[in-house]
Structure 1
């Protein structure tokens, strides 16, 4: 399932739609402005919250939690002692952990585990700087086949790595 993420660069609160290949709205990413910590909500097109994404306030290394119904389903964190910062780890509450590798700033990276590719994120087919594709392997029967969780991980990758290029 290929999803298109179109971030609004100058929008207060980092709100944006995620659509399918034909332009149908699939998810709304609602960035909560004016919060002490970075917070997003992933919602369906009717506005129902599917997942909450929160940056951990106190952590040895930068990390974000993804919650469903108040329960943590995944934690995305930067790898410790990695000077290049080209790798992130997704600790899943249930199932095998994922690894995120590639060019985060250029939005060319892969989410994978021992079972193979979970998703491929790529900007290469788009001229607009704020648009990229998330190709989710929905043939998987585990958490890797959950488009909402994969989009939430991509939101975490963006939030955790956006300052690395400065």
Structure 2
């Protein structure tokens, strides 16, 4: 099983960070658009070739993110309407997420078989995640899924913090 580590940099104007393996080698580079509509995240391999693209849908009542891997749309992440806790659904052929994905502690299954799991690392400067990959052919999709969910969470946090206290 391959392990990757995603650590976002704090206080960065442009969302830019790397994904490293357990030997600290940079495996993927993630770069978010800055002041661009729609918001996108490009995920590139070690030779700087784009392997995945995340795009936030702009004219949508609830946040929606499209994930493309190798030029093919693979996953759609949609926020669902709820009053108490933010809920999201993931639409993909045969894929499901089990666990507490809002707290970034979940397993990803395809056709009932585990292809990877994610756990958040606590007490770190910036958001850090460990990604355990059981099916290495799904690696770019799993990295993109973690980045997309984290982006959805960040959007929710910014909306919540901008609501004035009554």
TM-score (norm 2): 0.80
- Aligned equivalent of 2:138: 146
Distance, in Å, in 2 between the alignment partners of 1:127 and 1:70 is 34
> Alignment partner of 1:162: what SS?
helix
Contact 1:13–1:32 (CA under 8 A) maintained in structure 2: yes
- Aligned equivalent of 2:164: none
Distance, in Å, in 1 between the alignment partners of 2:131 and 2:90 is 17
Contact 1:4–1:133 (CA under 8 A) maintained in structure 2: yes
Cα displacement (A) at 1:82 = 6.2
RMSD: 2.4
Q: How many corresponding residue pairs?
A: 157
Distance, in Å, in 2 between the alignment partners of 1:45 and 1:126 is 28
Contact 2:9–2:126 (CA under 8 A) maintained in structure 1: no
CA 1:72 to 1:161, structure 2 compared with 1: closer, same or farther past 3 Å?
A: same
- Aligned equivalent of 1:99: 97
Q: Cα deviation per residue 1:94-135 (whole Å; 9 max; x = unaligned)?
A: x3132354152x433333455143332212476444322111
Unaligned runs of 5+ in 2: 161-166
Cα displacement (A) at 1:22 = 0.8
CA 1:69 to 1:122, structure 2 compared with 1: closer, same or farther past 3 Å?
A: closer
Unaligned runs of 5+ in 1: 140-144
Cα displacement (A) at 1:136 = 1.9
Bigger mean CA deviation after superposition, 24-33 or 112-121: 112-121
**In the alignment, structure 1 residue 78 sits paired with structure 2 residue 82:** no
1:123 to 113, 117, 120: 120
CA 1:98 to 1:22, structure 2 compared with 1: closer, same or farther past 3 Å?
A: same
Distance, in Å, in 2 between the alignment partners of 1:68 and 1:77 is 18
Contact 1:4–1:134 (CA under 8 A) maintained in structure 2: yes
TM-score (norm 1): 0.80
